[in-house]
Structure 1
Amino acid sequence: MAVVVALGAFLMTLVGGWTAQRVTDRRHLVLGLAGGLMLGVVGLDLLPESLATAGKPVFGVPQALLLFVGGFLFAHVVERLLAVRRAAHGGDTGKRAPQVGLTAAAAMVGHSLMDGVALGAAFQVGGGMGATVALAVITHDFADGFNTYTITSLYGNARRRALAMLAADALAPVVGAASTLLFTLPAEFLGSYLGFFGGALLYLAAAEILPEAHHTHPARTTLLCTALGVAFIWLVVGLSG
């Protein structure tokens, strides 16, 4: 049953990516919405889930928060190292590195894979739990598809690469759900991953996506799109809670 439901997540991810492609003439609005969706996913979904399952505090600080900060710093360090490398080879340090976009998209794929694992595990607990998790996964996979395509494209990757990452992101929950027919991952491991991924995602939203959205179009409509992105994730979390 979980694999069948995961096919809905597959389709919703593709719809999100298709939407991101179709509104290229309103790029600032797309980026504003993507930033809001990412902020909502991190603050209202990933971080609370990570805090609940990531294990005991480490030296007085919740393990989830340490990993969250680590993910943020990791994304920052990777981007800076790539910028230094471009400068050493005479490149434009102001230009975004395609590798960062691919790495971020790969993390989105990993997140979608974990979504599929969570979906499969929920159906192992019972049909009611499975239905609740299915609603959350299918609905917010629209945001995943939207963000995967947007992030990959924003960093200068060709359209075919963005489409390839979108396809991988769409297939990931199906693969994750199918894997639970063989094994299940410990909840603490999933929580740790979500904390680290949330920190990296927040860096991309706050340091890259949102500044780019307002760089050439500092419009109120862009702010509205960001707020709508957060509100959408809040609605999803509320309906699935």
Structure 2
Amino acid sequence: MAVFVALGAFLMTLAGGWVAQRVTDRRHLVLGLAGGLMLGVVGLDLLPEALEAAGREVFGVPAALLLFVGGFLAAHVAEHLLAARQAAHGADQHERVPEIGLTAAAAMVGHSLMDGIALGAAFQVGGGMGIAVAVAVIAHDFADGFNTYTLTSLYGNARRKALAMLFADAAAPVVGAASTLLFTLPVQLLGCYLGFFGGVLLYLAAAEILPEAHHDHPGRSTLLCTLAGAGFIWLVVGLAGE
């Protein structure tokens, strides 16, 4: 049942990527929406889930929060190391580093894989729990597909690479759900991963995507798209929790 439901997530992810590539003539609006979606996913979905799942504290601080900060700093350091390497090879320091986009998209694929594992584990607990998780996963996989394609292409990767990462992200929930037929992932490990991943996404949204969206088009429409993206995730989280 979980694998069948994950096919819905597969289609929803592809739909999100399709929308992202069809609106390239409104790039600032796409980036504004993607930034809002990512902020909403991190603050309203990933971080609360990570705090609940990881549980324990390390020196008075929840482990998920420590990893959240670690993910943010890791993304910051990785970007500067890649930029420094690019500059050493004579490239423009302001030029986008394709590896960052691929790394961010790979993180999205990892997140979708964890979604599938969570989906399979929920159906192992019971049908009611499985349906609740399925609603949340399918609803926000549209945003995942949108962000995966946008992140990959934003950093100068070819369209075929962006499409490859999109299809990998779409297939990940199906693979994750199928894997629960073989093993069960410890809840605390999942929580720690979500905390770290949330930090990476927050850095990309706050330091890269939103500044890029408002750089050439600091208009009201871009801001409204950002607010709409965050509001959409709030709506999804609220409906999934009912």
Tell me the TM-score range normalised by the shorter chain: over 0.9
Q: CA deviation at 1:98?
A: 0.2
Q: RMSD of the TM alignment (CA)?
A: 0.5
Distance 1:146 1:184 in 2: 29
Partner of 1:141, secondary structure, is helix
Q: CA deviation at 1:55?
A: 3.0
With normalisation by structure 2, the TM-score equals 0.99
Distance 2:171 2:184 in 1: 19
- Identify the residue that residue 84 of structure 1 maps to in structure 2: 84
- Identify the residue that residue 32 of structure 2 maps to in structure 1: 32
Counterparts in 2 of 1:1-241, with a 5 A limit?
1-241=1-241
Distance 1:88 1:213 in 2: 28
Counting aligned pairs with the same residue, the percent is: 82
With normalisation by structure 1, the TM-score equals 0.99
Q: How many residues align?
A: 241
AA matched with 1:138: I
Deviation digits for residues 115-173 of structure 1 (CA, Å, limit 9, x no counterpart): 00000000001111000000000000000000000000000000000000000000000
Partner of 1:96, secondary structure, is coil
Distance 2:75 2:211 in 1: 16
4+ residue runs over 4 A deviation: none
Partner of 2:147, secondary structure, is helix
Distance 2:14 2:7 in 1: 11
Distance 1:170 1:87 in 2: 34
Distance 2:85 2:7 in 1: 41
Partner of 2:162, secondary structure, is helix
Partner of 1:183, secondary structure, is coil
**Structure 1 range deviating more: 52-61 or 171-180:** 52-61
AA matched with 2:75: A
Distance 1:88 1:173 in 2: 39
Distance 2:161 2:148 in 1: 11
